[in-house]
Amino acid sequence: MTTDDLIAALAADTLPQPTVAQRLARSLPIALAVSVAAFIAFWGPRADIGATLASMAVLKTVLPALLLVVAGASALALAHPGMRADRRLAVIGVFAGAVVVAFLFYLLRDGVSGLVMALSKPSLVVCLVSVPLLGMPLLGAILWSLSTGAVLRPRLTGAVAGLMAGGASASVYSFYCDTDMALYVIPAYATAILLVTLIGAWVGPQVLRW
Amino acid sequence: MRAAIHGDTAAYRHLLQAITPVLRRVVQARGTGLGPDACEDVLQDVLLAIHTKRHTWVETAPLRPWLYAIARHKVVDAFRARGRRVEVAIDDFADGLAAPQGPDPLEGRDMETMLNALDPRAAEIVRSFGLRGETTAETAARLGMTEGAVRVALHRALRTLAQLRERMIE
C-alpha cells in the first residue's frame, strides 16, 4: 500500500474521537463507584462519621481528594503533546511541600517519641494495605483513559496517575479510618498514596506506550 | 487540522498530503541505513499515529509543535526497534544516495503484511478508500453495508492497524 493510498484511507475516517478528558470523565465515576461499593462491602464507615466530618478530621478526606484534582491537571497536560506540564507539576510539588511542612510542625511539637507512639497502631498496616487496594480500580480507569492520549513521558505520567488514584482512594478510606492524630495521618496516608504512585510509575511505561 | 477533526475529509487529506514530504525528509535523514522502503514504513507509522492521536492536539495551540512531538516519538520508537535488525548491505554504500530507488519508493512493505492480518472485510474497506479512491457511499453500496457501518468499520480497522504495527515493532 502506498503512502498516498494510506492518506486517502485516513482522510476517509471522520468519526469523531472522544478526548482524554471525556474518557476520564466517563471512566472515573465508574471506577469510583466500584471502589466505594468495595469499601461499603468490606470496610464500612466508622461509627461517628457524622461528627468526624464536622471536625478538623474532615481534612483527611478533603486533602487527598484535592490531590486527585491537582494531579489530574498534570496528567491531562502530560497526555497532550505541546501542552505545558511543568507549571502544573509544580503545583503538585507545592502541595507535597505544604504536607511536609505540616508534618515537621507536628513533629517538632510532639517530638520523635510522639511520632513513634502515633504510628505504633495496628491500623497503620490496615491503612497501607487498604488504600492501594481501593485505588486499583481507579488507577486502571485513569491509565486506560490516559493511554488513549499521546504520552511522551510514560513513567512520570504513570506516577502522576498513581497520585490521582492514591489520593482518591485515601479519601474513600478516610471514612473508615478512626485515627485522627496528625502525626499518624500525615505519614500513614502519604506512604499509602506513594505506594500507589510507585505502582503507577512501574506499569506506566508498559500501559502508556503507543 | 481543525476542519479535519470536525470531519472535513478534503481538508484533512490536503493537510496530510502537505506534511508528508516534510515528514519523509525527516525520516530519511535519520534513517540513512534503513533503505527507502523501510523509511516509507516508518513514515506510514508516523501518519497512522498522527491520525489515531489527532484528538490530543489542543485546538487553541499551534499545530507544528504537536506534529513534531508525535513524529519524533514515532521515529525514535521505530528506529529503536528496527535498530536491532538494521539491514545494511555493502551495495548500499556502493550505490550511494544518487542510485535510483526501487520500483516504487512510496510503497511500504509492512502495511501490506498488516492488512493481510486484518479480517478480510476490514482490509477490503481500507483498500477501497486507499487503492480504489471510493467514497463512503460507493463502498457501502458495493459491500451492501450502510454508510454508517462503513465509517465505523474503517475507524476500527485503522485503529487495529495502528495496534498491529505497534505490536510488530515490539
Predicted local distance difference test score (pLDDT) of residue B170 = 54
Predicted local distance difference test score (pLDDT) of residue B108 = 65
Predicted local distance difference test score (pLDDT) of residue B106 = 58
- Tell me how close the Cα of A135 comes to any Cα of chain B, in angstroms: 26
Chain B residue with Cα closest to A81: B66
Report the candidate in B4, B77, B47, B81 with the shortest Cα–Cα distance to residue A209: B77
Q: For residue A36, is it within any domain?
A: no
Predicted local distance difference test score (pLDDT) of residue A125 = 93
Question: In the numeric block, which cell numbers belong to residue A21?
Answer: 478528558
Dihedral class, residue A149 (left if φ above 0, else alpha if ψ from -120 to 50, else beta): beta
Q: Note the ipTM here.
A: 0.81
Question: What's the pLDDT band for B76 if we cut at 50, 70, 90?
Answer: confident
A84 Cβ under 8 Å from any chain B Cβ: no
Q: For residue A116, is it within any domain?
A: yes
Q: For residue A49, is it within any domain?
A: no
Predicted local distance difference test score (pLDDT) of residue A5 = 81
Taking contacts as CB-CB distances below 8 angstroms, the residues of chain A near B108 are 1-3, 6
CA dist A103 and A184 (Å) reads 10
Coil, helix or strand at residue B8:
coil
Predicted local distance difference test score (pLDDT) of residue B107 = 64
CA dist A187 and A170 (Å) reads 12
Instruction: Please count the structural domains in chain A.
Output: 1
Chain B residue with Cα closest to A209: B166
CA distances from B7 to A15, B1, B54 (A): 7, 10, 12
pLDDT of residue B95 exceeding 50: no
Q: How many CA atoms lie within 13 A of A101 on its CB side?
A: 6
pLDDT of residue B14 exceeding 80: yes
Residue ranges and CATH numbers for the domains of chain B are 1-86 (1.10.1740), 109-170 (1.10.10.10)
Question: What's the pLDDT band for B96 if we cut at 50, 70, 90?
Answer: very low
A93 Cβ under 8 Å from any chain B Cβ: no
CA distances from B163 to A7, A112, B52, B124, B160 (A): 18, 54, 10, 18, 5
**Residues of chain A below pLDDT 50:** none
SS3 of chain A: CEHHHHHHHHHHCCCCCCCHHHHHHHHHHHHHHHHHHHHHHHCCCCCCHHHHHCCHHHHHHHHHHHHHHHHHHHHHHHCCCCCCCHHHHHHHHHHHHHHHHHHHHHHHHHHHHHHHHHHCCCHHHHHHHHHHHHHHHHHHHHHHHHHCCCCCCHHHHHHHHHHHHHHHHHHHHCCCCCCCCHHHHHHHHHHHHHHHHHHHHHHHHHHCCC
Q: For residue A43, is it within any domain?
A: no
CA dist A7 and B47 (Å) reads 8
Q: For residue A118, is it within any domain?
A: yes
Taking an 8 Å cut-off on Cβ atoms, the answer to whether A82 and B43 are in contact is: no
| Mean pLDDT along residues B36-45 | 81
Domain extent at residue A145 = 56-207
CA dist B13 and A182 (Å) reads 60
| Mean pLDDT along residues B93-108 | 47
Tell which wins on pLDDT, A27 or B126: A27
Question: What's the pLDDT band for B43 if we cut at 50, 70, 90?
Answer: confident
B61 Cβ under 8 Å from any chain A Cβ: yes
| Mean pLDDT along residues B57-78 | 86
